Chains A and B, each alone.
Chain A
């Protein structure tokens, strides 16, 4: 387990000298515990303390990098089992699987389709991350040619799938500088695969019939000098994979069990599109480091990428919606105007109640750095002045034909200044969103 602030403090000089730029040793220790600073910032810490603290802060799960210059992917080094405990650090890498039996003309089309799997949601571009190429029957040379072709046509890092070291080596010949992920070292081939991974300095997936065998294998492979290992958790049934993923994450984090202290790779096995998304969703939510899927229709990929975006948001950073003028329902120039903050929960609650009221309404969202009404006020993230200026910037007066604005009851204090300095007629709304419908019905009047 990570050290607490108090435990770290005991190892610091306790002089409150301030050379670390924090006011006290305790303040510094708390920042260290939260992993926001590094120990080097204290010039006076003893060697002994350094050793103690370094030991305790070593990550229980290895960080593995795949790919190089363009779109590199990092997986692993996760710290918690549940996102609310801290956050999930490295979003699941999503790979689309191609097979080597593609005909010449099909390759371009398929790769182009994969390249197009990107979307923009809440201001962020989300896309898949890797292309996996599975060897089935072709010769090593043909496989290598295919790999070379895909590499040329696409910017995504590759996963090379074959149990045959000679096939993998042929492919590495044309792709190793892109740091692809090798799949897979098993009971029969692991020595050959390990030497390839070492020779080409590429990360290596390892499989076993169960977690016990998998742990043995990673230990052996580590002895052969390969450090960048990815655990293949790939049973046919979603139920089994989910449980193995859970056990391996618990072993790594709770037991500090080093042979399984690596990120994972999983594969969907369902052929039906809806069922495949079910499986994929399960692995994104529950500990999949890399997820390899076959379906690549846009309507399948969009929800999957959204699941990943949602689950991997930082639960400690409040989510924000875009600060702009929203129109709820069929608004007209007589519709009421409500002001609120850009904390998404606040906004969605207000929006929900406005919808409930069935009264078309404008909602002007003010940029408050994702804080709710009261916190934003206390933190000076919004003020009458800010609201006034926001309403000007959003050109609200071009839309509404009246002069009245509803502000949240919790910041009734803004009223005077908004009226005096910005010329609005201010109506102080309810403190709780739940009273918005009643308020809009009973209190709202166009002035």
Chain B
């Protein structure tokens, strides 16, 4: 029986964003990573091209984490006093596609480290690893505007992905990216319109739409994931349908969310009904990732080595 054709002809491909610069690109990375570029919804190969597979970045901090769960610390505690070593372990032992360096040490409510210390961390990661780098501020607007310029400067030409701009704080970072040749994470609070508004504000300042990755906020499985899921689906549909301000790759920052979730951090002794925590913790993180992959995420930021390994393995099964 012949059946009707249900292929959709989408108006617009998702932008391709290349992170990292190798020697020929003016940087020192051993390779670059491109995301986006697809002309269809996630993994629908019958309908369009999916030139780049989703990638997994592993999260490291510029300071020794205070509250990381023992299930995580057992992998990292030997190296986490040194961002360079930590990053190297993630790449060489756990197969991270990228490193996401979060400048938690700059938080004025915490260690309140200055631009120099942050820049040192950036440099050390760039020295010990060859993968492209994501640099994410501490989330305090004023402090990030003070710290990130230095980080941007010491990594100029490396085409890092810097985070993050928001509706209320975008001018400094947009200027940095234009000057030092980086890419930007545009953050919004689980809202399809605000996500778009940040992109409009940034491009109004002259940033190329192709330099932006959307971060629509992430919730862990069981903690609001369905809101983010639908916003990502709607955004991706809009992007493919021709909305240039939603035609960016999408990033999900799930490690920090998952490792707050009860289901990941509560031991089997406390809740026998939930089964082995050794498995449950990383599987909660992996499952959160599986869900976001179907909504269209292009970059996942994760923590647990086992979850990273399994998610990368599963991605390969969905890509030709």
Interface residues of A (CB under 8 A from B): 82-84, 119, 121, 211-213, 215-216, 219, 237-239, 242-243, 246-247, 250-251, 254-255, 257, 259-260, 272-275, 277-279, 281-282, 285-286, 297-300, 302-304, 306-307, 309-311, 313, 315, 319, 344-345, 348-349, 356-358, 434, 437
Contacts and interface: CB of A to CB of B under 8 A. Distances in A.
Interface stretch (B129-137, B177-185, B199-207, B226-234): B226-234
A239 B290 contact: no
B294 interface: yes
Contacts, number: 157
A247 B46 contact: yes
Interface in B269-320: 273-277, 279-280, 282-284, 286-287, 290-291, 294, 306, 310-311, 313-314, 317-320
B224 A344 contact: yes
A243 B44 contact: yes
B70 to A, nearest CB: 17
B3 A215 contact: yes
A311 B44 CA distance: 20
B25 interface: no
Which A-B residue pairs are the 5 nearest by beta carbons?
Answer: A298-B275, A299-B275, A299-B280, A278-B314, A274-B310
14 contacts: A237-B317, A239-B43, A250-B6, A274-B313, A275-B310, A277-B290, A278-B286, A278-B310, A282-B294, A299-B274, A299-B279, A319-B224, A345-B190, A356-B139
A24 to B, nearest CB: 32
Contacts of B279: 273, 297, 299-300
A215 B319 CA distance: 27
B275 A242 contact: no
A80 to B, nearest CB: 11
A78 to B, nearest CB: 15
B4 A251 contact: yes
B317 A299 contact: no
A357 B276 CA distance: 33
Nearest to A251: B6
Interface in B109-165: 109-110, 139
Interface in B184-232: 189-190, 219, 221-227, 229-230
Nearest to B109: A358
Nearest to A84: B230
A395 to B, nearest CB: 24
A83 B226 contact: yes
Contact of B320 (A239, A260, A282, A345): A239
Contacts of A278: 286-287, 290, 310-311, 314, 317
A155 B230 CA distance: 34
Contacts of A275: 310, 313-314, 317
A434 to B, nearest CB: 8
Contacts of A349: 189
B2 A315 contact: no
A257 B45 CA distance: 22
B221 A310 contact: yes
A82 B236 CA distance: 12
Contact of B276 (A242, A243, A250, A299): A299
A397 B107 CA distance: 34
A242 B314 CA distance: 13
Nearest to A238: B317
B46 A307 contact: no
